[in-house]
Amino acid sequence: MIPSDCPIVVVGATGAVGREAIAILEARGHRADRVRAVASARSAGSTIPYAGGTLAVAEAGESSFVGQKIALFCATSDIARSLAPVARAAGCAVVDNSSAFRADPNAPLVVPEVNGEEVARARSPALIANPNCSTILLLVALEPLRKRFGIQRIVVSTYQAVSGAGAAAITELQVQAADMLAGRAPKTKVFAEPCAFNVFSHNSAMDEATGLNGEEKKMISETRRIWNDPEVEVSPTCVRVPVVRAHSESATITLKTAASESEVRAAFEGARGVQLIDDRKANKFPTPLHASGTDTVFVGRLRADPGSKRDAAGRTRNHCLFLSGDQLRKGAALNAIQIADLLFAK
């Protein structure tokens, strides 16, 4: 774990992910005088509550990394590309939450529960990329099955909270909901479609040639890279839903080795970062409300694919599940901090 007196700079400290990272450091008892909060010129001069006091927010720049050991980048790809080299030149290890370095072969792409050993190959000062939030949540949930049975194919549909698009998207949902309940027409700014009482294709750029949006492309390429398995088949459909926080995903998985439902359920016993909520009698399963503010990926609706054949022992290669996880914590800030933990272990 990162020592409480380790100098850390959080870049993009006033954004949704940056504030979550600072909240996690505070909960861990990290000393206020060892946390440096930096952001855009627009946010410079503001303060962030921390440990009974406040952190002053400074403008991010070349001087931000002097004397720091770890830089947690919670900003845009453009800022990461601009300032990550500056941070490393100052001797500061970088863990980046943006998409800037996810395809860079020199930057390990890491989910600690899945491929944490990749941190050991990072050159010093380290530059490590945090995967996309939907990919992180999915792979944490599937790792127990991959370890025990292998996975050949994933068909996944996401139900993604608006907070994945930032604080302005949360405000837009709240305002639209109030307007619609009052009989007023909703106004759109962050999304092209109203997000209140609506569901629509993920707002990332659409590739007209493939029919895939940017979020779907990330899930395919990042899963293959993290698992070091270019042959795994990933078929995602990514959607925004009128939920403030925490993503959910429905997945049908084709295992490499057939398994019974009880064997699949047993694979989750003691798994890192995963908890089963799967009470059929009470109709109790994972929800984004339950996952919000937690560090756990919740998995439920475990069942053999009803459309697949089973052998005499009741085994099949095709199984279904549903998951919910907080994309601001495990899907972003927490995953980055856990990577930093591994850097210190290294």
Catalytic residue among 30, 202, 247, 319: 247
Catalytic residue among 133, 195, 238, 320: 133
133 flagged as catalytic: yes
- What's the gap between Cα 336 and its chain centre? 9
Contact 71, 12 (CB under 8 A): no
| Per-residue 3-state assignment (H helix, E strand, C coil) for the chain | CCCCCCCEEEECCCCHHHHHHHHHHHHCCCCHHHEEEEECCCCCCCEEEECCEEEEEEECCHHHHCCCCEEEECCCHHHHHHHHHHHHHCCCEEEECCCCCCCCCCCCECCHHHHHHHHHHCCCCCEEECCCHHHHHHHHHHHHHHHHHCEEEEEEEEEECHHHHCHHHHHHHHHHHHHHHCCCCCCCCCCCCCCCCCCEECCCCECCCCCCEHHHHHHHHHHHHHHCCCCCEEEEEEEECCCCCCEEEEEEEEEEEEECHHHHHHHCCCCCCEEECCECCCCECCCHHHHCCCCCEEEEEEEECCCCCCCCCCCEEEEEEEEEECCCHHHHHHHHHHHHHHHHHC
Between CA 283 and CA 288 the distance in angstroms is 15
Contact 264, 310 (CB under 8 A): no
Contact 329, 84 (CB under 8 A): no
Contact 103, 221 (CB under 8 A): yes
247 flagged as catalytic: yes
List active site positions: 133, 247
